[in-house]
Structure formats: C-alpha cells, structure tokens
Amino acid sequence: MFNHLFSAIYQFMTRNISSHGAGPTVVVIILTCFVVLAAVQYPLVFPWLQSFFPPGSSALGVQPGSQTASPLAHIHDMQKIEFGDGSNRQRARLRVLKQLIKTKGWERDTSHPRRRLLAALMGFLEYREKMEEGVQRKRSGWAKLSVRQKEFMSTVPYAEKLEKTSALIRENDILAHKIIDYGLSYYDLTFTELLSFRSAHKNDTRPVSDHTSVVQSLKHIIRDWSTSGSHERDVTFPQILTTLKKFYPDAAGRGNKKILVPGAGLGRLSYEIAAMGFETIANEYSFYQSLAHLWMISIPNSTPRDSFTLYPFINWWSHQRTTASLLRGVVFPDTLLSPPALERLSLIDGDFTTAFYAEFGTYDVVVTLFFIDTARNIVDYLDKIHAVLKPGGVWINLGPLLYGTGPWVEPSLNEVLAIAERVGFELVPTEEKWGADTFVDVEQWRGKVRGAFAGYSWDQDSLSRNAYQAQFWVATKKM
C-alpha cells in the first residue's frame, strides 16, 4: 500500500534533487517521510504506527491492486492457499505469487520468476535515466558540429527538439511509475525491495534489465489499447473473433469454453475474447509485457476514454517525416473495460511450454497471434498447443514466420504445416475474405491458409514500414 508513496517520493527526489537541486528543508522533509513510511512498512520498529494504516488501506486513496487485491495476497505461508477458492483471476494471481517465493539462490538464478520480475520492474524504474542517456548522446553528437555547421543547423530548432524530448521522457516516466506501482501491488512486492534489488544490481557487468523491452512494452500500448493502433487490430482480430463465433454461435454457452492465448502481449485480443463471453486465459512469459498489461486492465472503467497520453516515438529518431510526428502523443485507452469481461480474463505468467502441464486436454481453443515464431523449438510449441487442447479442440493461428534469436529449427511454412499435421492437427477451410490463398498450388492446403498484410508496432507517420504477410489458419485436434 505504501508503494505509491515510496514511488512518488522517489520520483520527486530523482526529479528535483538530481536535476535542479533542493534546499536542505526539502531534503529533511523527504527523509522524514521516508523514515515514517519505513516505520510503517516495518511495524516491528514502530508497531503503533501501523494501527493508523491497516493493511489494504491506501494513503493516497487509490489502491493499485484494488481490483485484484485479495486478503490472501498477504498470506506469506503460501501452503495455506486453497487454489480452489476465488475467481480464475485470483487463482492465476495466487499461482504467480507462489512462483515468486524466494528459493535458495533465487537472486543469482536469472530464470527465477522473482528475479525476472524485479529485473523488469527495475527496467521501468530506469526508463527515464536510460532514455536520458540516449538524449545526452544526441546532445554530445550535436556539440561536435563546427560553429559553421551549427549556424546552418540554427535554421531548425534542433536544441529545442532535444529539450522537448527530455520533457516527454518525463511524461512517459509518469506512466512507467504507474506501471511499477500497480505491478508491485499485484505481485505483492514493496518499493523498498525493488530499490534494494536495483542497488544490488546497478553495476552488474551484464545489465539485469532490458531497456529495449521497456520501450517495446510501452509502445505496445498503442497496438493494443489506442485508436492509433486499431489499423493493426482491424486486420488481425476479425478473422480470429469471427472463427470463435462460428465454432460457438451460442453466446450463452461460451462461459464454459476455455480459450488460451499464449504470448498475449498487452492483452487486447484476450480481453476481446473474454468480452465475447469466453473464459479466457492469457499467458505471457515477459514480465515487461505482463506489467503493462496488468496496469492497462486495472484502469477503472470510470476513467474516461483516452485519459492518458504516451509519447511512443521519441526513442527512435530515424524515419521521421517531421519533428511534430516524432514528438506527437498517442492517447489511450480507446475503450472502457467491461468488469464482467475482466472477471472472465486471467493472466498466467510463465513459459507456455511448461506452464500448462497440469492442464493438458482442458482447453477448447488455443489462439496464437504473432506467437509461434517466437519459439526456440517450434515443434515443442506445436506439440504443446496440441497437448493442452481437448480432443476436437480448435487452434487458430495468425502471424508471420520471423524466427527470433537462437531457434533450434527454422522450418518453412509448408514444413510447419506438415509437422502440425503429424502432431495431430487437421486444417479446416477458411473464408476467402481473410486473405490470399497461400497454397493455391498444394491440394491438401488449398483454401485453408490465408495471407494478409498486417503491421506490427507500426508508426503510420513513419517513413518506414514494419509489416508482414501474416498467415491465418484454423486447425482442429484430431479425435
């Protein structure tokens, strides 16, 4: 509950003390606040103080975890948690809280969920600093120009652009802190733990946090939750949602159908599926994505649409037609979230290939959007998608074949399909309107696999394009 205050004080200190200097009085006030808050966090030192702030209350009147906060979150003996209780959302949260428990050597284990989560939170915490380093490099580059060249450049307000970028970084940093605050609350961590993790790892030779992942996950807000990103959703969501509707036309019966969305990113597709009435499980490995996803869906639906502004393009000065487009803000969220839909939506953190062993044969549908090519071992993905489905279950895929770092195997699309059939899938015909027939020349797949132009985190004002001929298919698990 004090994460907000710690975080606010931290932000205040980093902003005012580091950049502008502060009088001794301000420093004394801030340190006093820290001592008081620390005392409240550690009631053993000042037990009487805690009585003013019972667990679950919020000194700011805003409880980041209010939609998800559960009294169980404060049970530290996780053995006592009954996983059969509560909503799916609550169970999913308790499941990750259990995984976050400190085990021997967790701090050195880069795959331990607690360490991965703290690393992601640290990434958001360092957003401003890392971004500023980039601006500083640009300032230094500019300073290297000769007086004559600077004179030429004086025709454009380049110095002003640098200053404006710094100002917008500070705006984005406010959002980064909202994500941190909510994440700490959801995952039952404290800001003090985050700060001590940061000081323990600040000077590691290999950085523990990935700044690019922070930037990407902020940018993903646009793809998933803004009107500006609707051009990406409009060419990918309809075929998926229409297919679900076709298989399950009776809206009333959808509540009993379990849909799994691995690699859910910031969760818009999962949310839309839940909004159709399905029990939807979003799965995501990256805490960078999950943190932003969780904050997004925590925004109360009393908050008007487009209440927040992100400046997503300031990190990438290439391909900008105008400075105005580089500096422009994008408003979000474009929709008010429906509480019943949120009740049907849960997030399971973790690696898709290992997170669902206990749920083999239990899902009605698996939806993979821009996901299967993230695999190091795509055969394992196909096998696990098949394994989690019920007999007769449906797999809906849409996405490119852009293999990432270090894949073990890189089959071409025809090979992916052949392997999928061998694993036990049967492709079904898809409608012409979803794109050009990719295998018009292969009888067995003719009319089943369709390619359509789809962007991914694509800035429509940019002079470059990041888009794919994304492949759509629907397959059923053979009985």
Ligand X SMILES: C[S@@+](CC[C@H](N)C(=O)[O-])C[C@H]1O[C@@H](n2cnc3c(N)ncnc32)[C@H](O)[C@@H]1O
Q: Among 453, 368, 373, which Cα is nearest to 415's?
A: 373
Q: How many residues bind ligand X (CB under 6 A)?
A: 17
Q: Among 226, 248, 246, 250, which Cα is nearest to 238's?
A: 246
Give the burial string for 10-48 (b: 16+ CB within 10 Å, else e): bbebeeeeeeeebeeeeeeebeeebeebebbbeeeeeee
Give the burial string for 271-306 (b: 16+ CB within 10 Å, else e): bbbbbbbbbbbbbbbbbbbbbbbbbbbbbeeeeeee
- Report in angstroms how near the CB of residue 472 gets to ligand X at its nearest: 13
Pick out residues in 200-229 that bind ligand X (CB under 6 A).
Answer: 223
- Report in angstroms how near the CB of residue 197 gets to ligand X at its nearest: 21
Q: Are 376 and 407 in contact (CB under 8 A)?
A: yes
Q: Does position 285 bind ligand X by CB under 6 A? A: yes
Residue 376 is classified by DSSP as: S
Q: Does position 262 bind ligand X by CB under 6 A? A: yes
Residue in 311, 371, 395, 439 binding ligand X, rule: CB under 6 A: 371
Choose between 282 and 326: whose C-beta lies nearer to ligand X. Answer: 282
Q: Does position 113 bind ligand X by CB under 6 A? A: no
Q: Does position 272 bind ligand X by CB under 6 A? A: no
Choose between 90 and 374: whose C-beta lies nearer to ligand X. Answer: 374
Q: Does position 284 bind ligand X by CB under 6 A? A: yes
Residue in 41, 165, 283, 315 binding ligand X, rule: CB under 6 A: 283
Choose between 221 and 326: whose C-beta lies nearer to ligand X. Answer: 221
Helices (H), 319-393: 323-327, 339-343, 352-355, 378-388
Residue in 278, 311, 313, 370 binding ligand X, rule: CB under 6 A: 370
d(CA 31, CA 33): 5
Residue in 289, 298, 315, 430 binding ligand X, rule: CB under 6 A: 289
SS3 373: helix
Choose between 264 and 382: whose C-beta lies nearer to ligand X. Answer: 264
Ramachandran bin of 151, using left for φ above 0, alpha for ψ from -120 to 50, beta for the remaining angles: alpha
Q: Does position 234 bind ligand X by CB under 6 A? A: no
Pick out residues in 323-352 that bind ligand X (CB under 6 A).
Answer: 351-352
Range in contact with ligand X (rule: CB under 6 A) among 59-67, 68-76, 370-378, 445-453? 370-378
Choose between 40 and 385: whose C-beta lies nearer to ligand X. Answer: 385
Range in contact with ligand X (rule: CB under 6 A) among 108-116, 280-288, 294-302, 430-438? 280-288
Using a CB cutoff of 8 Å and minimum separation of 24, what contacts does 9-12 make?
9/33, 9/34, 9/37, 10/191, 10/195, 11/173, 11/174, 11/177
Residue in 11, 243, 374, 397 binding ligand X, rule: CB under 6 A: 374
d(CA 387, CA 390): 8
Q: By CB under 6 A, name the binding residues for ligand X.
A: 223, 262-265, 283-286, 289, 351-353, 369-371, 374
